Every structure is written in C-alpha cells, then in structure tokens.
Amino acid sequence: MDWQTLRKNIKEGNLARLYLFYGEEWYLREHSISQLKEAVLSGGMEEFNFSQFSGDVAFEDLQEAVDSYPVMQEKKLVLVRDYDPFKANEATREKYTALIRDLPETCVLVFSFGEKWKPDKRVKLYTLFSKVGEVVEFQHAKQNELTAWIKRRFATDGHSISTELCEYLVFQCGSLMGALIPEIEKISAYAKNTEILKTDIDSVISPCLETVVFDLTRAIVAKNYAKSIEMTETLDAMKESPIMVAALIAKQMRQLYAAGLVLQQHDSVRELMTVLKLNSDYIAKGILQSARGASVTWLRHSLLLCEEADRKLKFGEGFNVIRELIARLAESGARL
C-alpha cells in the first residue's frame, strides 16, 4: 500500500488491524501515525486506549496491551517503534506469529521503523504481516505531489510560490519533506513580499550535500577546477565524509555519462528521466546542460577514475583522494 491510499483509508475510517511502516520519508510516516491516533482515539481516553513501546519489547507486555479492551470506545491503538520481530529468535517469532494470527478487532497494532530499516521479506513472519495487515513504505513523494505540498506549506504562512521555484527548492534541499519543512519556515520568515523570490531562497537555505557535490561536479565538467578545489576544501572543513563525497561525484558522473549518450541520439529530457528514473524534469535539464560541455569519451573515462578513488578511500587518505581525483579529471579532460 502507498501512503496516499493509507491516507484515504484512514480518512474513510477503513482501518486495518495491523500496520508495518518504514521508509526514508519520516515526515509522512509520523504524519500517518498522527492521523491513525486521531482516527482511533477520536473518543478520547488516550491514557487508556493508547500504548507505545520502543526498542526492546517484552512480549508479555505487548500481548497484554493488544488483548486488553478499549475504554469507552471501539478500538485502541498500540504502537511499537524500532523493534524488529523478524530478527528475533525462532521461539519469539512463533509468539508473534500467534499474536498476529489472533489480533482482536478492538486493536490497531502498528510497527514503525526508522529511515534505514528494511524488512527481511524472506521470513515467514513477514509474509504473515503482509497477509494480515498493511505494509507501507514511505518513499520520496513525486515532484507534482511535492510541489502541491510546498505550495500549501507556504500558503499557511501567507506566501505563494511558483512551480519553478518549488522545483528549485527541492533541487537545493532534497525531496524529503522532513528536510524541507525547516527550510520553508526560514524562507517564510525571511521573505518580505507575499510572492516568494529566488533571492529569498538563496539567502537562507542550507543546500543538501548532494546539491553541493552536483555544483562541484558541474565545475569540473566546465573545467573550472579552481572552483571545484575551493568547494572540496569547504566540504573538508565542514567534516563531510570523503567517502560520501566521492560516491556522489561518481553518481553525478554516471548521470552525466548517461546524458551524454542520450545527447548523441535524441537530446530528450523525457528519455533521460526514464533512463535515470528521475521524477523531476528540472534536474534532468540541469544534467543535460552540463553534459553538453563534455565528451562522452571523457565521461566514460571519468567513471574509471571514480572507481579508483573509491578503492583508495577504503585505505584512508580522506579528502586527499578527492583532490587527486579532481586533478586526474582535469588532466584527462585536457586530453579527451
């Protein structure tokens, strides 16, 4: 089930007895839990009808919370955070199997996990979860969904923003709603006019690491090596992970190489979006624009240099590997 269907079902009062929530978009996950609380606990008496567990859970306590009757309303809500029953020993998994198979109609049981957690779909208990309840992975929203959401957030603060600037904001700060909320709040507080301007955004936002590395890579492709080194020194001073920076440079180079191949055929934004599985044509246009300044031969060779840098980073050396990578990219760029 996707989160839009979940939201619709909650609104209509069509609640499952069991939910499994996980995924990168923590804002949507927490918002959905809040919606469930409002739906299940609409009659009040939260102190009797809502139980929450976190981390290591004593099964007997959870069993008692699930089996106890709600007070003065039809259902109660039991929330379990960051406890993975799929990794428990066999005896404990058998207990959870019995619990899930016999969930009372008077209980809504939710298991919720953080951004990096993934379910082990090989175990029988997960199969049972997916049969009895609803498994919801909260993924990044699509660009059109994000745009509509961003406009609503700004409207709440008395501002309006164009679709183009919504896409620019997502490019600068990433597509996670949880990361966008504080940036929207800063922009709203800073903006002097009702209509949000690009200067309002640029004045207060904190660009995400991927955007900074995109600009660094764009400087490399444009043969502005002084700027790329300057940006590398800034990232080093900020204590960013050199392994992450190298991985993002490699990712950008792969995207640019794909764009170079597309440019040889059709110069199609839509085709590049399909190849790279991008949701935003704004990002695709930026990648294509950068790729026009580089030969496909050099872009292909840059991928080999990125692989070498990745191997060297496994043995330490930190940002010196990044500096060497930029130097080698510059040298090969002059030849290819």
d(CA 40, CA 16) in angstroms, rounded, equals 11
CB–CB of 77/41 below 8 Å?
yes
Average pLDDT of the chain, as a whole number: 92
Backbone dihedral angles phi then psi of residue 107, each to the nearest 5 degrees: -130, 140
pLDDT over threshold 90, residue 230: yes
| Distance, CA of 274 to CA of 254 (rounded, Å) | 15
Q: How many CA atoms lie within 13 A of 85 on its CB side?
A: 27
Please state the rounded mean pLDDT for residues 298-323.
91
Q: How far apart are the first and last CA of the chain?
A: 49
Mark whether 128 and 37 lie in a shared domain.
yes
Flag whether pLDDT at 167 surpasses 90.
yes
114 and 225 assigned to the same domain: no
Kindly state the average pLDDT of the residues 64-85: 94
Residue 9 and residue 69 in one domain: yes
Q: Are residues 149 and 92 in the same domain?
A: no
| Residue-wise pLDDT tens digits, 246-260 | 999 999 999 999 999
Residue 278: pLDDT above 80?
yes
Helix, coil or strand: residue 19: strand
Determine the pLDDT at residue 16. 95
pLDDT value for 279 = 79
For position 44, what pLDDT does the model report?
Answer: 74
CATH number of the domain that 116 lies in?
3.40.50.300
Indicate if 214 and 331 belong to the same structural domain.
yes
pLDDT tier at 315, thresholds 50, 70, 90 = confident
Tell me, what's the pLDDT at 28? 93
Full-model pTM: 0.81
Looking at the structure, do residues 176 and 194 belong to the same domain, yes or no? yes
- Tell me the pLDDT tens digit for each residue of 18-73: 999 999 999 999 999 999 999 999 877 788 999 999 988 999 999 999 999 999 89
> pLDDT digit string (tens) for 95-150?
999 999 999 999 999 999 988 899 888 889 999 999 999 999 998 888 889 999 99
Domain limit, last residue, from 204, 229, 255: 204
Range 186-200 average pLDDT: 97
Q: Is 301 found in the same domain as 236?
A: yes
CA distance readout (Å), 245 to 58, 206, 238, 253? 41, 17, 12, 12
Same structural domain, 112 and 153: no
Q: Give burial (CB, 10 Å; 0-12/13-18/19+) of 107.
A: buried
% of residues, the chain, pLDDT over 90: 77
Measure Cα distances from 10 to 13, 19, 250 in Å. Answer: 5, 12, 42
For residues 190 and 280, membership in a common domain is answered with no
Q: Which domain holds residue 198?
A: 143-204
Asked if the model's pLDDT at residue 267 lies above 90, the reply is: no
| pLDDT of amino acid 254 | 96
Q: ∠183-186-188 over CA atoms, to 5°?
A: 110
Q: How far is CA 304 from CA 179, 191, 228, 282, in A?
A: 33, 45, 19, 28
Q: How many CB atoms are located within 10 Å of the residue 182 CB?
A: 12
pLDDT confidence of residue 42: 84
Last residue of a domain, one of 137, 162, 181: 137
Q: Tokens 């180079």 appear where?
A: 253
Per DSSP, what are the bridge partners of residue 160? 195
Average pLDDT (324-333) is 91
CB atoms within 10 A of CB 306: 20
Q: In this structure, which amino acid lies at residue 180?
A: L
One domain, residues 271 and 187:
no
**Count of domains observed in the chain:** 3
Where among 79, 110, 137 does a domain terminate?
137
The confidence score (pLDDT) of residue 252 equals: 95
Phi, psi of 292 (to 5 degrees): -65, -20
Is the pLDDT at 266 greater than 80? The verdict is no
SS3 for 177-204 is: HHHHHHHHHHHHHHCCCCECCHHHHHHH
pLDDT at 314 over 90: no
CB 15 within 8 A of CB 40: yes
Please report, for the domain that includes residue 157, its CATH number: 1.10.8.60
Same domain (yes/no): 12, 109: yes
Sequence-ordered alpha helix ranges (H) in the chain: 3-12, 26-40, 46-49, 59-67, 90-101, 124-132, 143-156, 163-173, 177-190, 198-204, 209-221, 225-237, 242-265, 269-276, 281-291, 296-313, 319-335
pLDDT at 190: 97
Query: Quick one: 279 and 302 in the same domain?
Result: yes
CA dist 31 and 112 (Å) reads 12
Specify the pLDDT at position 280.
81
CB 51 within 8 A of CB 71: no
Structure tokens belonging to residue 230: 């300057």
Which residues on neighbouring strands pair with residue 107, listed in sequence order? 76
Instruction: Supply the CATH number for residue 291's domain.
Output: 1.20.272.10
* The pLDDT value given to residue 257: 95
